């Protein structure tokens, strides 16, 4: 149980274009999902918290107009990188929180490798 | 703000060696404690957890004790194997379940 998927796993796009990444909880409902980015050999950096049916909460320094997050259902959150630039190239990982009965575990997707040329 | 410090960089034991990876946390609220493991090119996987003081998380021969008095959650194993090689992250989360706070990660490279 508690499986999270991401799509696509890899994407290459040209500078100036937009890319959408999907995060799905496959066998549970998630009111809250999180988006992280990870640079090579570094830790995960929280970008934003995505709440179903409401606006995302962004961490300090993360541009909300550049990284658009939509959490339209209890099993799907999307991250859209708008007007991508080479410095946006990174490994993007989502997680979904299992809730209820005192559990607050987070399960992570397999990640999406974004390369902007 | 909340923070976590763990053994940094690489740890290079040989197969059969014992292992301790240190983790110390500082949180404003009473946290749940997690260790995640990440293999190359993949997302982190939940490795073990402890929800309250004196709980011990266990998985695949690894253990970690939730020590409230020293605010620590050290990861231990009596005898590591080459297949244990991965990056390990210590991650506290407050009881309200906000986002995990990740340590910088410890790369475990076990030689045969």
* Residue bearing tokens 């990640």: A111
Q: How confident is the model at residue A102 (pLDDT cuts 50, 70, 90)?
A: low
What percentage of chain A exceeds 70 in pLDDT?
A: 97
Distance from CA of A93 to the nearest CA of B (A): 6
Whole-Å CA distances, A6 to A24, B30, B77: 6, 31, 32
Instruction: Give the whole-angstrom CA distance, residue A5 versus residue A32.
Output: 15
Instruction: Give the whole-angstrom CA distance, residue A11 versus residue A16.
Output: 14
Q: What are phi and psi of B84, to 5 degrees?
A: -80, -10
When pLDDT is averaged across residues A44-66 and rounded to a whole number, the result is 93
What does the mean pLDDT of chain A come to? 93
DSSP per-residue codes, B52-71 = STT-EEEETTEEEE-BTTTT
Distance from CA of B41 to the nearest CA of A (A): 8
- Give the one of A32, A43, A110 whose C-beta lies nearest to B89's C-beta: A43
When pLDDT is averaged across residues A92-98 and rounded to a whole number, the result is 94
Q: Does A100 touch chain B (CB under 8 A)?
A: no
**Which pLDDT tens digit goes with each residue over B35-70?**
999 999 999 999 999 999 999 999 999 999 999 999
Residues B43, A46: C-beta atoms closer than 8 Å:
no
Q: How confident is the model at residue B95 (pLDDT cuts 50, 70, 90)?
A: low
When pLDDT is averaged across residues B76-91 and rounded to a whole number, the result is 97
Structure-block tokens of residue B5: 């410090």
Q: Does B49 touch chain A (CB under 8 A)?
A: yes
Q: Which chain B residue is nearest to residue A46, measuring alpha carbons?
A: B99
Q: How confident is the model at residue B97 (pLDDT cuts 50, 70, 90)?
A: low
**Which pLDDT tens digit goes with each residue over A11-28?**
999 999 999 999 999 999
| Residues A79, A67 contacting (CB under 8 angstroms) | yes
Calculate the CA dihedral of residues A77, A83, A85, A91 and round it to 10 degrees.
Answer: 10
Chain B positions touching A51 (Cβ under 8 A) are none
Q: Does B51 touch chain A (CB under 8 A)?
A: yes
Q: What are phi and psi of A13, to 5 degrees?
A: -135, 165
Instruction: Give the whole-angstrom CA distance, residue A7 versus residue B41.
Output: 14
Q: Does B57 touch chain A (CB under 8 A)?
A: no
- Give the one of A42, A49, A104 whose C-beta lies nearest to B32's C-beta: A104
Whether the predicted pLDDT of B28 surpasses 90? no
DSSP per-residue codes, A1-33 = ---EEEE-SEEEE-TT--EEEEEEESSS--SEE
- Give the one of A32, A104, A109 whose C-beta lies nearest to B43's C-beta: A109
Structure-block tokens of residue B53: 């003081």
Whether the predicted pLDDT of B72 surpasses 70? yes
Residues B43, A6: C-beta atoms closer than 8 Å:
yes
Q: What is the pLDDT at residue A104?
A: 73
Burial class (CB in 10 A: 0-12, 13-18, 19+), B72: middle
Minimum mean pLDDT range among A52-56, A78-82, B61-65, B67-71: A52-56
């Amino acid at each position: 149980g508690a499986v999270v998927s991401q799509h696509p796993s890899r994407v290459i796009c040209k500078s100036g274009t937009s890319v959408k990444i999907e995060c799905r909880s496959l066998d549970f409902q998630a009111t809250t999902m999180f988006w992280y980015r990870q640079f090579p050999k570094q830790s995960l950096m929280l970008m934003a918290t995505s709440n179903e049916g409401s606006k995302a909460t962004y961490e300090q320094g993360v541009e909300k107009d550049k990284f658009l997050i939509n959490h339209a259902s209890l099993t799907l959150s999307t991250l859209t990188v708008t007007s991508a630039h080479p410095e946006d190239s990174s490994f993007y990982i989502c997680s979904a929180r299992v809730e209820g009965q005192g559990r607050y575990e987070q399960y992570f997707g397999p990640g999406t490798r974004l390369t902007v040329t | 703000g909340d923070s976590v410090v763990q053994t940094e960089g690489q740890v290079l034991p040989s197969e059969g060696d014992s292992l301790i990876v240190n983790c110390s946390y500082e949180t404003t609220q009473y946290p749940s404690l997690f260790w995640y493991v990440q293999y190359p090119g993949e997302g982190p996987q939940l490795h073990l957890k402890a929800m309250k003081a004196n709980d011990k998380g266990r998985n695949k021969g690894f253990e970690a004790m939730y020590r409230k008095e020293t605010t620590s959650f050290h990861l231990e194993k009596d005898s590591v194997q080459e297949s244990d090689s991965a990056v390990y992250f210590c991650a506290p989360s407050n009881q309200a379940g906000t986002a995990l706070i990740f340590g910088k990660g410890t790369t475990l490279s076990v030689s045969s």
